[in-house]
Chain A
Amino acid sequence: AQKITQTQPGMFVQEKEAVTLDCTYDTSDPSYGLFWYKQPSSGEMIFLIYQGSYDQQNATEGRYSLNFQKARKSANLVISASQLGDSAMYFCAMREGRNTGNQFYFGTGTSLTVIP
C-alpha cells in the first residue's frame, strides 16, 4: 500500500481564493510526522509546514494551514488567499517514528495553478 496518497494531479484556483490540497497517509506507527513541500518550476524543494501525530492543534504557518484528521488519516494543506507565486508542485510527505532512518515517504504531488 502507498504510504502517502495525493489524488489530485492538478488543481486550479483563482487568485485570492483559498484552495485545499488533499493528502492521505497509511501507517500503523502511533508516532509520525507529516510534512508539506512546495516545488516551483525552478526545481527546489521548499519546506512549508509540519504536523506531528500527537499535536492537538492543526499546524499553521502564515497562509498555510494543515487540516489534520487523524481518524481519517488525512493531512490536507490549505492555502488561503492564493497568490500567483503559489503556482507550483506540492508534495505531502510522512516520516514514521519507528523508521530508524527517518526517511521521508513522498506522495506523487499535486500541480497547483493560480489563475489571475
Chain B
Amino acid sequence: DSGVTQTPKHLITATGQRVTLRCSPRSGDLSVYWYQQSLDQGLQFLIQYYNGEERAKGNILERFSAQQFPDLHSELNLSSLELGDSALYFCASSSQAGVKNTQYFGPGTRLTVL
C-alpha cells in the first residue's frame, strides 16, 4: 500500500458525460501528479500540482481539468467523454520537487466509456 488513495476504483459511463476522479496523496506529500495509461498510448503525464498550484502540464486535453484543494487532495475532471478516454487514470504523490523524490502511485481509477 503506497498510501495514495484514489476513488472510485472503477467507473463506467457514456460518451458525452462528465466524471470526477479523486485522489488523496500520502500524508505530508505536497505534490500530486495525474497520469493516463491506455493500451495504445502507454503512460502519459497529464498534470502536476504542488501545494495547490499548478506546476506542470503534460498531454492533457482541454476537456480535462484538475485542481488541488487546501487539504491537498486533488480531483481530475473529465468532460465530453469520448470512447478513446477509456483508460486507467493514476494519481501519484511526492513530498516535494527534486530529482530524487520518488512518486508513489495510487491504485488507479479504471474508466470505461461506452
Instruction: Write the residues of chain A forming the contact surface with B, with a CB cutoff of 8 angstroms.
Output: 31-33, 35, 37, 43-47, 50, 52-53, 91, 95-97, 99-106, 108-109
Closest to A95 in B: B99
Query: What number of A-B contacts does a CB cutoff of 8 Å give?
Result: 68
Closest to A51 in B: B100
Instruction: Write the residues of chain B forming the contact surface with A, with a CB cutoff of 8 angstroms.
Output: 2, 31, 33, 42-43, 45, 48, 55-58, 88, 90, 92, 94, 97-108, 110
A109 to B106, CA, bound (A): 18
Majority SS of interface residues in chain B? strand
Which of chain B's residues have a CB closer than 8 A to the CB of A91? 43
New A-B contacts (16) at CB < 8 Å, excluding given A37-B105, A102-B31? A32-B99, A35-B102, A35-B103, A43-B88, A43-B107, A44-B107, A47-B104, A52-B100, A91-B43, A101-B48, A101-B57, A101-B58, A102-B48, A102-B97, A104-B33, A108-B42
Which of chain A's residues have a CB closer than 8 A to the CB of B100? 33, 50, 52
A-B pairs, 9 with minimum CB distance: A101-B56, A45-B105, A106-B43, A33-B99, A103-B45, A97-B99, A101-B48, A44-B107, A102-B97
Q: How far is the CB of A26 from chain B (nearest CB, A)?
A: 16
Q: How far is the CB of B97 from chain A (nearest CB, A)?
A: 5
Q: Do A47 and B102 touch (CB < 8 A)?
A: yes
